[in-house]
Structure 1
């Protein structure tokens, strides 16, 4: 059985599909704009939460490095929360579940591959919490000497 190819039917099918996609895009555009606005609000909120937390921790925590790490972690958590809220507004809950499951597997693989780097990062976190080492201290290590100006996750 042989079918004849009709060029006009093919073009009409393409135009119908493009029309359906356009209609779908127009219907979901308000949710998309709302999701972008909500995410932007969370990014702005993260900035102000970081400033507020910095003011609060200035009196509670003496070490600058602990303050900085805490502020960065809280900012990232607020932004990630905003990302998930924005995805929820787009009705991407099933995709979100799949992404989180995939992220767990990928995180495990990356963790195994980057053991040395992660070990150094956690050492940097531990150095931040040690009261013996603070910003402004004079240190000597392997023949090098200098003043500590910043303590972050990877270096002093």
Structure 2
């Protein structure tokens, strides 16, 4: 009986790992109005092409309620996510299914995840807002090689 149970557990584990989601690099930059906007990195587009957009999610990994905003495409629609375009935080197309966007605070580290349709592909990045002189907020992309921490260097006010 134990042998059968172990074999079933091993088979289930192999099935889960057979279809892992590949996580590529997203990019975060400021839109024309200074708000964060999201896309895939230029390197990802050059290596794998422009994926079809499925959803974008912004979370605060350190909050009790981590989901800050999510927007998804209806099943019958999509568009390619190119490096040259950018999906603004909070969305601009009210017809798309989305949650209300929570206010982003300076000095906090956030995470964005862009999911591609029809593939086991997603793109992730971390970012923060920094208050500069005069109270201006600036969007900062946090590179994948940055150290973990609630306030990574570069995310505190200048």
Same fold (TM over 0.5): no
Kindly indicate which of the two structures has a greater share of residues assigned to strand. 2
Kindly indicate which of the two structures has a greater share of residues assigned to helix. 1
Structure 1 length as normaliser, TM-score?
Answer: 0.26
Which entry has the higher C-alpha Rg, 1 or 2?
A: 1
- The structure, 1 or 2, with the larger RCO (C-alpha pairs under 8 Å, 6+ apart) is 2
